[in-house]
Each structure stands twice: as C-alpha cells, then as structure tokens.
C-alpha cells in the first residue's frame, strides 16, 4: 500500500500541527489538511489571526481546531508548545514546520539579536519540535513531517547569508531524517519554493532588497504542491517547473556562478530563489 493510500485512510481522528499558520503558506496548508479530515493545532504569534483560521476550518471542513499562540523566537518555545499540546491530550500525527522569518543585509551590518531570533524560528524550533513529536509517530507507526524550506536551500545568497544557511540546514535535516525513519511508517518532506507572495516581504528589511520585484508564486499553489507531495511521500517538493530547473542548475554550474546567481536575486529580483 502506498503512503498516499495510508494517508487517505481514517484521518478523522488524526491531527496536524501547523506552525506559522496565521497567514501565507501555513494558512493554506492548514486548510488543505483540514479538507483531508485532519484536526488542527495552529500556532503563530497572532492569536486573533489564528482564531480566524481555526473558525474557518471548523465551519468549512467540520474538524476540530486548537489554537496555541506562541512566538517561536522565544528560547523555550518548542517545550512550551509541546507541553500545551500534551496537556490538551492531543497526539500530533503530522508536523508542519512552516514558520520562518527572513533577514536582509550585509552580515557585518545586520542586527545580532534579529539574527538570533531568526535562527530560533528557522532552525532551533523546527529541530526541537521534530525531536519532541516524531518519536510518538514512530511508536504509533504512522505520521510525517513537512518542512517549509526554500529554493534558497540550494543557493548561497549574499545579502541573506544567514537566512539562506538556515534553509540549507532545513533541507539537509529533512533529507537525513527521511532516511532514518523511512522504515518506521513516517515520512519527511522538504518544500522548496521560490519567492512567494506572503507577509515575508514586510519583515527583515526584505522590502529594501530586490527579492520581491521578480516573478513570485502565490501561497495557495505552493501549499497545494507541498501538501500533495507530502501525501505522496516525496522527500523534496519543488513546486514549479522553473524551481526544479533552478535547483538542477546547482549540479552543473561552477560554485562561484551559483553564488553569483544567488546575489542577483537580491540586487535584481531574479525569480528563482
């Protein structure tokens, strides 16, 4: 039986935890999970926005949606979120590590505290949440993790040196973990989109770069590609033909050229990262 067949069966009592669920890709993935019959645990910083998403999921799909407002930039965020879910008596069957923050600027000039917060959200929180929830999935013999990485995972990006590195980490982590748990009934998928039209552009000085001036992707289509790829058991999802082409370029181009292309996404708004 395929992984998709397994996911399609008896999902009424299963739960998906989605981080960064208040907007953008996370909100759309939450909607898709709910449409497949998954109960939801939704987390982000903005409780009012989460309540709105939860209400829509319950009204439109007839599932249960639990809101846990949590800033993943806080040092103990993963433990606090895990504790709240445990105290509610909820088992998490699907973990969607979607929350992420950007930071644009020369490394010698960017704010250290902002970078520290970004590392917690983009690296520490997804790693710790995976550590806390995947053992239960392995014990039950079913479940999965969907990590929102980026096409930046494949490209060094001068001007976003640390951000790009966090996404490279997430891709590497996903691939290795997928191999470790492949015989345990658990899948791990990394979603690697290019630039997406979300509130991302309003944070981390991204509006001062050229990132958003190129071709962008809408969050719904990216979420659909990611969720469907996850349900099919794919390890890496590149949600467009161009994204797939851009990722393949890194295999054949000289390393300096790859880095130059990454830099062009900042200066000229090239669309592949």
- Say what the pLDDT of residue 65 is: 98
Count of domains for the chain: 1
Is 129 within a domain?
Answer: yes
- Say what the pLDDT of residue 206 is: 45
**Distance (Å, whole) CA 209 – CA 220:** 24
Question: In sequence order, which residues have a C-beta less than 8 Å from that of residue 272 and are 6 or more positions away?
Answer: 151, 155, 194, 242, 243, 245, 246, 261, 265
pLDDT at 209 over 50: no
- Say what the pLDDT of residue 262 is: 54
Report residue 234 as tokens: 């794919």
- Say what the pLDDT of residue 263 is: 58
DSSP for 97-130 reads E-------S-TTTS-HHHHHHHHIIIIIHHHHHH
pLDDT at 211 over 70: no
pLDDT at 269 over 50: no
Is 258 within a domain?
Answer: yes
pTM of the predicted protein model: 0.84
CATH number for the domain harbouring residue 252: 3.40.50.720
Is 139 within a domain?
Answer: yes
27-65 pLDDT, tens digit per residue, is 999 999 999 999 999 999 999 999 999 999 999 999 999
Task: Give the pLDDT band of residue 251 (cuts 50, 70, 90).
Answer: low
Task: Please list the active-site residues.
Answer: 163
Is 191 within a domain?
Answer: yes
Average of pLDDT values for 229-244? 84
Per-residue exposure over 75-113, b if at least 16 CB sit within 10 Å of its own CB, e if not: eebbeebbebbeeeebebbbbbbbbbbbbbbeeeebeee
- 205 versus 171: which is more confidently predicted? 171
Report residue 128 as tokens: 């710790």
- 144 versus 11: which is more confidently predicted? 144
Average of pLDDT values for 70-90? 97
Closest CA to 73 of 107, 121, 37: 121
Is 273 within a domain?
Answer: no
Is 58 within a domain?
Answer: yes
191-208 pLDDT, tens digit per residue, is 999 876 655 555 544 444
Report residue 187 as tokens: 């899948």
- Say what the pLDDT of residue 247 is: 57
- Say what the pLDDT of residue 93 is: 98
**Distance (Å, whole) CA 2 – CA 234:** 12
Q: How far apart are the first and last CA of the chain?
A: 36
- Say what the pLDDT of residue 272 is: 41
Closest CA to 185 of 145, 144, 130: 144
Write out the residue range of the structural domain in which residue 15 sits: 3-267
What secondary structure letter does DSSP report for 249?
H
- 203 versus 147: which is more confidently predicted? 147
pLDDT at 3 over 60: no
- 51 versus 2: which is more confidently predicted? 51
171 touches 97 (CB < 8 A): no
* Pick from 7-11, 45-49, 246-250: least confident: 7-11
64 touches 41 (CB < 8 A): no
- Say what the pLDDT of residue 188 is: 98
**Mean pLDDT for the chain overall:** 85
Is 71 within a domain?
Answer: yes
* Pick from 21-25, 165-169, 193-197: least confident: 193-197
Complete edge-to-edge strand list for the sheet that includes strand 94-97: 65-67, 39-43, 15-19, 94-97, 143-148, 186-191, 236-237
């Amino acid at each position: 039986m395929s992984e998709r067949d397994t996911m399609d069966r008896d999902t009424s009592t299963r739960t998906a935890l989605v981080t960064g669920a208040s907007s953008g890709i996370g909100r759309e993935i939450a909607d898709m999970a709910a449409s497949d019959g998954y109960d939801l645990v939704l987390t982000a910083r903005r409780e009012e926005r989460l309540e709105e998403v939860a209400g829509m999921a319950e009204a439109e799909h007839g599932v249960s949606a639990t809101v846990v407002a949590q800033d993943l930039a806080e040092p103990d965020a993963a433990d606090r979120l895990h504790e709240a879910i445990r105290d509610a008596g909820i088992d998490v069957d699907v973990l969607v590590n979607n929350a992420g923050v950007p930071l644009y600027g020369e490394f010698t000039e960017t704010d250290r505290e902002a970078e520290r917060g970004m590392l917690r959200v983009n690296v520490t929180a997804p790693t710790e949440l995976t550590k806390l929830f995947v053992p239960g999935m392995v014990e039950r013999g079913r479940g999965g993790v969907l990590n929102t990485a980026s096409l930046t995972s494949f490209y060094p990006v001068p001007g976003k040196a640390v951000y790009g590195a966090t996404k490279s980490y997430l891709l590497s982590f996903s691939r290795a973990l997928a191999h470790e748990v492949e015989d345990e009934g658990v899948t791990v998928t990394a979603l690697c989109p290019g630039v997406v039209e979300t509130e991302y552009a309003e944070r981390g000085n991204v509006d001062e770069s050229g990132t958003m001036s190129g071709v962008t992707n809408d969050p719904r289509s990216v979420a659909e590609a990611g969720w469907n790829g996850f349900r099919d058991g794919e390890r890496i999802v590149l949600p467009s033909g161009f994204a797939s082409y851009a990722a393949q370029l890194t295999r054949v181009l000289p390393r300096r050229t790859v880095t130059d292309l990454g830099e062009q996404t900042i200066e000229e708004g090239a669309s592949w990262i």
